Chain A
């Protein structure tokens, strides 16, 4: 029925773009994303994927070309990481402001300086206000599934926003795992073709896209994006459900995933591959009779405030892990968001894994010990050298 391949995260992303039958790819190589766009080039060269592949001269042009293609009515894909995403920064806001459902794989990597090719999530977190939906995945299967889901979410008439699917550099991009590849027809059936009504360039319907947003209309366009983000929460949940019915795989409720929350007074909150390590630790502690929970945030934007509040209503020790740091505030982005919505709870923030620093089982255990003993909200940098 379906095929299982033992592949890396970047290959899983490329397989997903192929399954989504994308029309235009515009991409520029950067570590640790490169193997994704190499794989796609191979698919196009072998005729396995019928798409225009634009070998652009920069990430800025990659996103610009994706915007041009999406504005013409094509399904588009690109991938980047770190400095490449930073170079795209300007165009990210334009993609969302123009309401174009572009899907992008982000191989999460630290930002310079000093230059560092290894994993953290500072690159995509720095783009949190860009109007892109952000999905953080835990493993390679979720990478493939999320990219397929991303098209369904982005192209929904109630959403029409771009989506970045973020996977941890090297930890997922370069590690092989068994990944179930669904049949192409079933994915096509799930997604349908992209037939935009609001924006496409066609001489038979001459529209003006990207005009000057005078003060009389600018605020309204921003509000419209915010409202689309809000509607996206519902759409993401529905897509997760429909995906699970069709493909028998499910990621929490789409926005968040609860793990062993029922009896746990201590709950870790995190995003991405570190959740795999946390789940392992939780299972080990359970054997010793200790209950610790995990709330995995899958979509950082839109931020699932309501779900988080509901899932954490009984927890008292909340440990938020961040692979990013808001310099000058000594907290990570997730830590800041959590503190702002959980006003009467103890929320400690742990800065972990910057620039590829390992997050060990012992680190996770020390975080659990710390949060249980902490008297107030604290920020701790975990695993720093003397």
Chain B
């Protein structure tokens, strides 16, 4: 049933929409090379790069659209790309 005035009561419900399927290129982050400058974290339009419990940055491929801003902005070339196989 449509809510009154189509109000959305569940904050951040867009997480149901897995935009990872949009990708043509997959960024791969090499944790060993990462200097934790946070560039990839802060510039990601999806917020798809987050710290894991060990303090390493990880790419969430459920949402990563493959824009590769992270790769372009990485100062130490810790991020590379591979073509997605369909």
**A–B touching in complex (CB under 8 Å):** yes
Q: Which residues of A contact B (CB under 8 A)?
A: 97-99, 160, 198-199, 206-211, 213, 217-218, 220-221, 224
Which 8 pairs across A and B sit closest by C-beta, in order of nearness? Answer: A208-B8, A220-B2, A99-B5, A206-B11, A217-B2, A98-B5, A198-B4, A221-B6
**Interface contact B11-A198, CB-CB below 8 Å:** no
Give a binary string over B1-44; 1 marks a CB under 8 Å from any A CB, 0 the rest: 11011111101000000000000000000000000000000000
Chain A's closest residue to B13 (CB) is: A208
Work out how many contacts link A and B, with CB atoms closer than 8 A.
Answer: 36
Chain A's closest residue to B4 (CB) is: A198
**Interface contact B8-A199, CB-CB below 8 Å:** no
Which residues of chain A are within 8 angstroms of B1 by Cβ–Cβ distance?
Answer: 220
Contact of B4 among A160, A210, A211, A213 (CB under 8 A): A160
Chain B's closest residue to A157 (CB) is: B4
Contact of B9 among A97, A98, A207, A220 (CB under 8 A): A207
Which residues of chain A are within 8 angstroms of B8 by Cβ–Cβ distance?
Answer: 207-208, 211
**Interface majority SS (helix, strand, loop, mixed), chain A:** loop
**Interface contact A97-B7, CB-CB below 8 Å:** no
Which residues of chain A are within 8 angstroms of B11 by Cβ–Cβ distance?
Answer: 206-208
Which residues of chain B are within 8 angstroms of A218 by Cβ–Cβ distance?
Answer: 6
A207 and B11 CA atoms in complex are apart in Å by: 6
Which residues of chain B are within 8 angstroms of A207 by Cβ–Cβ distance?
Answer: 7-9, 11
Chain B's closest residue to A213 (CB) is: B6
Which residues of chain A are within 8 angstroms of B2 by Cβ–Cβ distance?
Answer: 217, 220-221, 224
- Name 13 A/B residue pairs within 8 A (Cβ), A-sorted: A97-B5, A99-B5, A199-B4, A199-B5, A199-B7, A207-B9, A208-B7, A209-B7, A211-B6, A213-B6, A220-B1, A221-B2, A224-B4
A221 and B1 CA atoms in complex are apart in Å by: 10
Which residues of chain B are within 8 angstroms of A199 by Cβ–Cβ distance?
Answer: 4-5, 7
Which residues of chain B are within 8 angstroms of A208 by Cβ–Cβ distance?
Answer: 7-8, 11
Which residues of chain B are within 8 angstroms of A99 by Cβ–Cβ distance?
Answer: 4-5
Which residues of chain A are within 8 angstroms of B7 by Cβ–Cβ distance?
Answer: 198-199, 207-209, 211
Min CB distance B66 to A, Å, is: 25
Which of B6, B8, B9, B11 is packed against the most chain A CB atoms within 10 Å? B6
